[in-house]
Homo-oligomer: A and B are copies of this chain.
Amino acid sequence: MTARPANAHQARLLRLLRDGGPSSRAQLGDQIELSRSKLAVEVDRLLETGLVVGDGFAASRGGRRSHGVRLAPELRFLGVDIGATSIDVAVTGPELEILGHLTEPMDVREGPVAVFERVLSMAGRLRESGLAGHFDGAGLGLPGPVRFPEGVPVAPPIMPGWDGFPVREALGQELGCPVMVDNDVNLMALGEQHAGVAHAVQDFICVKIGTGIGCGIVAGGTVHRGATGSAGDIGHIQVEPEGRPCPCGNRGCLEAYFGGAALARDAEAAAREGRSAALAARLAAAGSLGAADVAAAAAAGDVAALDLIRQGGNRTGQVIAGLVSFFNPALVVIGGGVTGLGHTLLATIRTQVYRQSLPLATGNLPIVLGELGPVAGVTGAARLISDHLFSYTPT
Contact = CB atoms under 8 A, between A and B. Distances in A.
Interface in A59-100: none
B361 A238 contact: no
Contacts of A364: 227-228
A394 B326 contact: no
B358 A226 contact: no
A155 interface: yes
User: What band does the interface of chain A fall in when counting residues whose beta carbon is under 8 Å from B?
Assistant: 35 or more
A363 to B, nearest CB: 7
A179 to B, nearest CB: 23
A276 interface: no
A316 interface: no
The secondary structure that dominates the A interface is loop
A221 to B, nearest CB: 11
Contact of A203 (B226, B236, B355, B361): B226
A73 to B, nearest CB: 35
Contacts of A232: 326, 328
B356 A224 contact: no
B359 A226 contact: no
Nearest to A318: B238
A327 B250 CA distance: 19
A115 interface: no
A329 B227 contact: yes
Given A228-B363, A228-B364, A326 B323 contact: yes
A233 interface: yes
User: Which residue of A215, A356, A394 has the most chain B CB atoms within 10 A of its CB atom?
Assistant: A356
Given A326-B217, A326-B326, A361-B233, A227 B203 contact: yes
Interface string A220-238: 1010111111111110111
Interface of A: 33, 145, 154-155, 157, 203, 215, 217, 219-220, 222, 224-234, 236-238, 241, 248, 250, 318-319, 321-323, 325-330, 355-361, 363-365, 394
30 contacts: A154-B360, A155-B359, A155-B360, A157-B358, A203-B226, A203-B227, A215-B326, A219-B224, A220-B222, A224-B327, A227-B330, A227-B365, A228-B360, A228-B364, A229-B328, A230-B328, A230-B361, A231-B326, A232-B328, A233-B361, A236-B356, A236-B357, A236-B358, A237-B322, A238-B318, A238-B321, A238-B322, A248-B358, A319-B322, A323-B326
Given A220-B222, A226-B328, A227-B364, 19 more contacts: A154-B360, A203-B224, A220-B220, A224-B327, A226-B327, A228-B361, A229-B360, A231-B326, A233-B326, A233-B358, A233-B361, A234-B326, A236-B325, A236-B358, A238-B318, A238-B321, A238-B356, A319-B322, A322-B323
